[in-house]
Amino acid sequence: MVPGYLNVGHGPTVVMLHSSLSSSGQWRDLIRRLRGQAQCLVMDLYGYGETPMPVLESEKEFTLWHEVALLEALLEQEQIQGSLRLVGHSYGAAVALAFAQKHPEKVERLVLFEPVCFSILKEGDAGLHDLASVMHVFDEATVYLDPTAQARRFIEYWNGPGAFDAMPERLQQLFSHQVKKVGLDFQALMHPAFNAEALTPLTDRLTLLHGEQTRVSARSLIQQLQRWLPEVRVVNTAGGHMAPLTHETAVNTLIEQCLYLNN
């Protein structure tokens, strides 16, 4: 069985996908907000929460389509029929976008906070230069050396200096244990998966949220998606890339509004 949680209720089915080094628990507040208005489905992506690491012949073969297949299996398992409203943050937002590109007929609405679909950035883009400062710690030469140092670098890339050391020890240990999956996440995000022509039919269903103090890499992604989809709706929020966690109330209020925009 695919690990997942279905909050059976009235209204549309809302699928929520979490960021890297997180889990479906990220969406507790949003689920509470939507109680009585929606049927909420959450899942742990590969390597997080209750979902084990993917079984691969070679780690180099891992792509976003493995995560999409996991979501497809959960939808079948829970016998979810009809259209979906997808919510995603960071890595989970990229997975949601890939699912929507593959199944546009199933998606009624997309509310995505900074989908990190790095493969759409062109060589020489400032966003890729900014991203290099964290990706180098996941190179093959370093991936098995020091998971704590890798987790610290990843957390501080998105949250700022000192963020990892300020966390409770249990979270530091959890993130250090899970950080191997972050390397696979980056690999999947750099693998070509998206194209403008395939995403264009989703334009009027897509809302992109992004933090006003976000990283250059995330800002570049929003700008590239706007070039591909000039009429896409973009909404700024307080905070940075991790605003769905650091500014949870404000961001979830926006997500709820966007999910029900014009109903």
Tell me what the mean pLDDT of segment 4-33 comes to: 92
Question: For a pLDDT cut of 90, what percent of the chain falls above it?
Answer: 85
Q: 107-113 and 206-211 as β-strands: parallel, antiparallel, unpaired?
A: parallel
For residue 209, the SS3 value is: strand
* pLDDT level of residue 145 (50, 70, 90 thresholds): low
Question: What are the contacts of 199-205 at 24+ separation with CB within 8 A?
Answer: 199/97, 199/101, 199/228, 199/229, 200/228, 200/229, 201/104, 202/100, 202/101, 202/104, 202/107, 202/110, 202/229, 203/229, 203/231, 203/232, 204/231, 205/100, 205/107, 205/108, 205/109, 205/110
Per-domain residue ranges for the chain?
A: 4-121+192-259
What sign results for the dihedral spanned by CA atoms 178, 181, 182, 185? negative
Q: Which residues sit opposite 7 in a β-bridge?
A: 40
* pLDDT level of residue 256 (50, 70, 90 thresholds): very high
How far apart are the C-alpha atoms of 21 and 42, rounded to whole Å? 16
The pLDDT of residue 81 is 87
**CA Rg value for the chain:** 17
Backbone angles phi, psi at 192, to 5 degrees: -55, 120
Q: 4-7 and 39-43 as β-strands: parallel, antiparallel, unpaired?
A: antiparallel
Indicate the average pLDDT of the chain: 93
Torsion of CA 203, 209, 212, 216, to 10 degrees: -70
The pLDDT of residue 223 is 97
The pLDDT of residue 79 is 92
Region of poorest pLDDT, from 51-65, 120-134, 136-150:
136-150
The pLDDT of residue 140 is 59
CATH number assigned to the domain with residue range 4-121+192-259, chosen from the 4 options 3.40.50.10440, 3.30.390.30, 3.40.50.1820, 3.30.1330.180: 3.40.50.1820
Torsion of CA 244, 249, 252, 257, to 10 degrees: -140
